[in-house]
Amino acid sequence: MIDMFLYDDSEKANIRFVSFIGDTRHDLTLIQTDRHYGKTIVLNTQSNKFGIIGRDDLDEDGYIAYVLGLSEAEAEEVTDFLREVIA
């Protein structure tokens, strides 16, 4: 039984599906809304892991690898891509 909702909002979103190949293949979904302080929800559809990522997070050592379930080399490729698309 649900006693109380903390929130139940609907919001328009910009959703982008991206697949690219560097040293390995990457399949990502990027969701941008007005929520999450301007950060982007990035889903790695290969590992079923996601992170709420902003420009500041791209500079944190190991963060992208950790939240998206990637090796350091894979995370470097994804980070390079995200630097181009995350405001």
Q: 1 pLDDT band (50/70/90 cuts)?
A: confident
State how far the Cα of 54 lies from the Cα of 50, in Å rounded to an integer: 13
Give the pLDDT confidence score for residue 7 in this predicted structure: 86
38: left (phi over 0), alpha (psi -120 to 50) or beta: left
What is the structure's pLDDT at 37? 87
Find out whether 73 and 22 touch, Cβ atoms under 8 Å. no
Q: What confidence tens digit (pLDDT) does each residue in 20-78 have? A: 999 999 999 999 998 888 899 999 999 999 999 999 999 999 999 999 999 999 999 99
pTM: 0.89
The residues spanned by each domain of the chain are 14-85
